[in-house]
Amino acid sequence: MHPSPDIGIWIGGLLTLGIFSFLYGDNPYYKFCEALFVGVSAGHWFITLFWTVFIPKLLGNIGIAIHTFRTEGFAAGMSDYMHWSYIFGGILGFLMILRLFPKIGWISRWSLAFVVGTTAGYYFINYLVSNGLMQIQKTILPLTSVGNIILVVGTFCGLIYFFFSKEHKGAFGGLARVGIWFLMITFGASFGYTVMSRMSLLIGRMDYIFGIWLGMIR
């Protein structure tokens, strides 16, 4: 056994054990690690957004706009809407914070409305294209092999299952039933497949504890 001399490795190891202790049950050691995790992840978000959104996107663009107004005059500045209009983004964002004050909190609905509108617009097109049309295009296959037939029939029956305005009875119900089987195969197979990737994460942590930290493996 050759434990690592690096104090940082020890901290990482002790925190790893602390989180694992949750598997036995809730306890103060775990609570400490959890509290720390909540704090540092809040800090990590704070810093990441500060240096990747607020400074470059918001202040950066508004700064360029101010510079243009100063050096090239009002008209040139106004025509450069790609920069100065960021001030609106900033205002809408700031309104979000007003949620903290119940009296005027309702005004944050304006920013929420903008965000919801953006998502609705994006999703409408993106899902239609990549989840809809592209998938249909990939499923239009010549029925010349067992695999292709299964792909087309499976997708067909699965969609029948998702019909809401028709009762699942008779032949239609039979197709919907086949559709459920396909969905169940899908869910079972994805479960089995995901097991693999989750296990490799755990392997990584175990290797950290016994290898890098405690030096018991080599």
Partner 1 sequence: MVLDRGFSYLLLLAFFFLILFSTNSFAQDPSDTLAPESVTNVDAFDTPNDNGHSITVSWELSSDDGAGKNNVVVYEVYRSDSPEGKFEKRGMVPAGENTFEDQGAKEKDNANYLPSHKNFYYRVRAKSDGLFSDSEISLPAYAYGQWYHTGKTPVLVAVILFSVFAITFITLARKGKLFYIRPLAGIEAVDDAIGRATEMGKPILYIFGLGTADMIATIASFTILSRVAKKTAEYQTPILIPCYDSVVMAVAQETVRAAYLEAGRPDMYKEENIFFLTSMQFAYVAGVNGIMLREKPATNFYLGKFYAESLILAETGSIAGSIQISGTDEIAQIPFFVAATDYTLIGEELYAASAYLGREPVLLGTLKGQDWGKAVVIFSLILGALAASFGFQFFINLFRIQL
Partner 2 sequence: MRREVPLLITAIVGLTLIVVYFVPHPPFSDLRDLFSDWFGVIAAFAIYLGILSLLKINVDKVYRKKSGWGFSIVTIMGFLLFVSVGLYEGSDFGEYGTSYYYLYDRIYYPLMATMFAILAFFIGSASYRAFRARNLEATVLLLAAFFVMLGRVPIGYYLTSWLPEGFRMGSLADWIMDYPQTAGQRAVMIGIALGIVSTSLRVILGIERTFLGGE
Partner 3 sequence: MGFFERLLKIDRRIIFTLIGIAIALPLFFNVSMFVETTPVVKGVYEVVESLPEGSKVLVSFDYDPGSMPELQPMAESFFRHCFSRNLKVIIMGLWPQGPLQANWALDVILNEPDIKAKNLRYGVNYVNLGYTAGNEVVILRMGSNIHAAFPADYYGTPLDDLPIMKGIRNFNNIDFVYNLSAGYPGTMEWVQFAADRFHAVLGAGNTAVQAPLMYPYANTGQLVGILGGMKGAAEYEVLADRPARGVRYMFSQGIAHAVVIFFVILGNVAYFATG
8 A C-beta contact, residue 134 and residue 147: no
Of 72 and 207, the one with the shorter C-beta distance to partner 3 is 207
92 binds partner 1 (CB under 8 A): no
Tell me the Ramachandran region of residue 167: left when phi exceeds 0, alpha when psi lies from -120 to 50, beta otherwise: beta
190 binds partner 1 (CB under 8 A): yes
Nearest to 138 by CA among 125, 154, 151, 127: 151
- Which residue type sits at 140? I
How many CB atoms lie under 10 A from the CB of residue 51? 10
Q: Name which of partner 3, partner 2, partner 1, none residue 216 binds, using a CB cut-off of 5 to 8 Å depending on partner kind.
A: partner 3
In whole angstroms, the minimum distance from the beta carbon of 3 to partner 1 comes to 27
Residues 6 or more apart in contact with residue 211 via CB below 8 angstroms: 217, 218
29 binds partner 2 (CB under 8 A): no
Site map (CB under 8 A) of partner 2, residues 141-180, x = contact: ------x--xxxxxx-xxx-xx----------------xx
Site map (CB under 8 A) of partner 2, residues 173-202, x = contact: ------xxxxxxxxxxxxxxxxxx-xx-xx
In whole angstroms, the minimum distance from the beta carbon of 142 to partner 2 comes to 15
8 A C-beta contact, residue 186 and residue 155: no
Token code pair at residue 158: 């699965």
Q: Name which of partner 3, partner 2, partner 1, none residue 81 binds, using a CB cut-off of 5 to 8 Å depending on partner kind.
A: partner 2
Long-range contacts of 81-87 (CB under 8 A, 24+ apart): 86/57, 86/58, 86/61, 86/62, 87/62
Of 18 and 77, the one with the shorter C-beta distance to partner 3 is 18
The rounded Cα 138 to chain-centroid distance in angstroms is 26
160 binds partner 1 (CB under 8 A): yes
List of residues contacting partner 1 (CB under 8 A): 22, 26, 34, 37-38, 41-42, 45, 96, 99, 105, 108, 112, 115-116, 118-120, 123-125, 128-129, 132-134, 136-137, 139-144, 152, 155-156, 159-160, 162-168, 183-184, 186-188, 190-191, 194
